[in-house]
Homo-oligomer: A and B are copies of this chain.
Amino acid sequence: MGETITPATHHNHLRLRRLGIDTYRQPVVYMHRDCLICRSEGFAAQARVKLQLHGREIIATLNVIDSGLLQLDEAGLSNWAWQALGASEGEVLTVSHPDELISLGGVRAKLFGETLEQPEWSAIIGDIAAGRYSDIQLAAFVSACAAGHMSVAETISLTRAMVEAGSRMHWEQRPIADKHCIGGLPGNRTSLIIVPIIAAAGLTMPKTSSRAITSPAGTADTMEVLAPVTHDLASMRRIVEREGACIIWGGSVALSPADDALISVERPLDIDSPAQLVASVISKKVAAGSTHAIIDIPVGSTAKVRSHIAARNLGDLLEQVGLALGISVQTVFTDGLQPVGRGIGPALEARDVLAVLCREHDAPLDLRERSLQLAGSLLEFCRATHVGSGYAEAAKLLDSGKAMEKFLGICEAQGGFSEPPGASFTHTVESAEAGRIVAVGNRRLARLAKLAGAPRAPAAGIDLHVACWERVEKGSPLFTLHAQTPGELQYVLNAIEAGLDVFTLERD
């Protein structure tokens, strides 16, 4: 009395045609309404469909074509699905009903408040990593985890499942240093300074970073202005073996692959529960083979973590889960009130990073200080030496030019260093009145920088001329907009004219 249907295979083949539709991470298959498979399988729009090509297999959502876009014997794929299957024009795709998604029962159980065991977490995360969950199902899983019933033990199981679902790097040497920042502050590109300092000190630091999802630049976007960041695991290993460190895009290596799928629904929902945040961070560190990780938690009213109690709780959970997964975690709480450095946007942030590494006299002090503090803590943490010695060593490596030398070595190993590009169009916004700046809107700054074209246009963004608590006169320059096209520049100006203020001014 089997449940599986094995359909006649001759019905289930369609010729692939490239449509060039980008749906971000959503695998979509396009089939004509009157094609034999839709008719005989009873497939309707939004059905989940199993696709097979070249021995690879993915589950996609069906969109049904009612027009001449496709012939009856053709199928189209979204770009993501096309790439996942390694498809080429005219190849023959096999289409069938997907197997039942058994692990979804665990999601419902979690939603109803039950406690899941390791095998259930592993089944869910395994299916997610294999792309078997639709966006709706991912959203239900994220919601179930956020609904407040995740014990520490379950968070550990979830993290372990996320590690097991992907590749994992092993290194001969120890310790392996790592660093992470719980986001939310524009311009906070300390990684690009910390990594070369740590490597210059002789430690190993295989750093993977993310691209921007809702921000004007991720660490990977900023690094990409200076050197290539897309590398596979073998290439990553070569870079780290040569230079002791790398700064590459995490999306190009399959470390904790379920995490990218989860993030793609967490962002639009603005749900980022502690359990999932911790599982995401720790799983990537463990998969990268790290043994010691410093985690920077900026605390501020417009940062991601808004109170010291929340920061303390999150820090405890990070350390406990890290311990269970065999990695030493130390958390550092930093000031999250305003952006770090002056530039916001890939090239402008890269410029700040280079200014610090090259010890330019006008390099942003806050970016230098944060980087040295964190690098110092990481050095002490990895070597178990006394507090205070790390900062001095980090400062020495930076000021002697050794960190910059190491940074150029890393860039070289990743494919070669480039100077950051300049923007074609700029406009400086001046203060309409005199007074003192008493607050900076991190989220509004990010929004303006994105409207100007960041991170898609690397040179686009915002260059700040003032900081919190500074006095400004009427006509003082507040910030300069950078854009690649006059249309985009005008677009940001319209937004500002319409009332998108960035600074809160206390008038004299």
Binding site for B on A (CB under 8 A): 1-8, 11, 18-26, 30, 33, 36, 39-42, 44-46, 48, 63-69, 78-79, 104, 108, 111-113, 134-140, 142-144, 146-148, 264-265, 268-271, 447, 450-451, 453, 456, 485, 487-488, 490-491, 494-495, 498-501, 504
Contacts and interface: CB of A to CB of B under 8 A. Distances in A.
A96 to B, nearest CB: 12
Contacts of A499: 1-2, 4
A42 B448 CA distance: 10
B45 A24 contact: yes
Given A11-B487, A500-B2, A42 B143 contact: no
With a 10 A CB-CB cut-off, give which of A7, A137, A143 has the most chain B CB atoms: A143
A60 to B, nearest CB: 13
Nearest to A68: B20
Contacts of A39: 453, 456, 485, 487-488
Given A1-B501, A11-B487, A136 B137 contact: no
A6 B111 contact: no
| Of listed A2, A6, A20, residue having the most chain B CB within 10 A | A20
A345 to B, nearest CB: 12
A111 B272 CA distance: 12
Contacts of A112: 146-148
Closest 8 CB pairs of A and B: A20-B67, A2-B499, A143-B143, A139-B139, A20-B66, A22-B64, A24-B45, A24-B46
30 contacts: A2-B499, A6-B494, A6-B495, A6-B498, A8-B490, A8-B491, A11-B491, A19-B67, A19-B69, A20-B68, A21-B63, A21-B67, A22-B64, A22-B66, A24-B45, A36-B487, A39-B453, A41-B451, A42-B451, A42-B453, A108-B269, A111-B271, A112-B148, A113-B148, A135-B136, A136-B139, A139-B140, A143-B147, A144-B147, A147-B147
Nearest to A504: B1
A70 B153 CA distance: 51
B65 A21 contact: yes
A161 to B, nearest CB: 20
A88 B242 CA distance: 61
A195 B298 CA distance: 65
Nearest to A2: B499
Copies in the complex: 2
Given A45-B24, A501-B1, A146 B488 contact: no
Contacts of A142: 140
A111 B138 CA distance: 15
Nearest to A5: B495
Contacts of A498: 2, 4-7
Contact of A22 (B24, B41, B63, B490): B63
A57 B296 CA distance: 43
Contacts of A148: 111-113
Max chain B C-beta neighbours (<10 A), residue from A5, A69, A451? A5
Contacts of A269: 104, 108, 136-137, 140
A64 B24 CA distance: 9
A406 B21 CA distance: 53
A425 to B, nearest CB: 13
A307 to B, nearest CB: 16
A67 B494 contact: no
A244 B11 CA distance: 49
Given A5-B447, A39-B456, 19 more contacts: A5-B495, A7-B498, A18-B67, A19-B69, A20-B67, A21-B63, A22-B63, A24-B45, A42-B450, A46-B268, A108-B146, A112-B148, A135-B139, A136-B136, A137-B268, A139-B140, A140-B140, A143-B147, A144-B147
A339 to B, nearest CB: 18
